Amino acid sequence: MGLSSATDKQKEAAWRVEFEALGEQSVLKNVKQGAIRNEAKRQAAFRWLSEQAQLRDRREAWAAELAWLALLCVNCGGTYRCPGYVDCAPLNAPRRFPPPRSKTTPLLGGYPHFYPQPRGWREL
C-alpha cells in the first residue's frame, strides 16, 4: 500500500470519505481529467475505484446467483403439480372453495383433464 505513517492513513481515510460523498462516477471523471493533482490522493483514488469495482462485481455475481436460484425454485415448484395459483394444495387436502364451474372451458371450471382428480372430488 505504501503508506508510511499514521498521518498518511488518516489522510487516506479522509479522502475515502470524500470519495464516497462524491460518488464513483465523479471520482473516475476527476482522475481521468487530471483534476486530482496530489499524487498520493490520486493513488488513493485508484485504490478506492478498484475496490468499488470489486464490490460491484461481487454484487452482480450475487444477483446472478439469486436469479438462478429463483429460476430453479420456480422450475421445481412448477413440476410439483401446481397448475395455478388456486390449485396448489396437495391431492388429499380438503378444499374450502370449489373452483368455478364451466363446462365449455376446461381450465376455468372443474379440474383440467390432464391432471388427476383429487380424492373426494365431485363435480357440482
CB atoms inside a 10 Å sphere around CB 119: 8
Residue 67, pLDDT above cutoff 70:
yes
The span from the CA of 87 to the CA of 60, in Å, is 36
Q: What's the confidence (pLDDT) of residue 5?
A: 75
- For the chain, give the percent of residues with pLDDT over 70: 58
Residue 53, pLDDT above cutoff 90:
yes
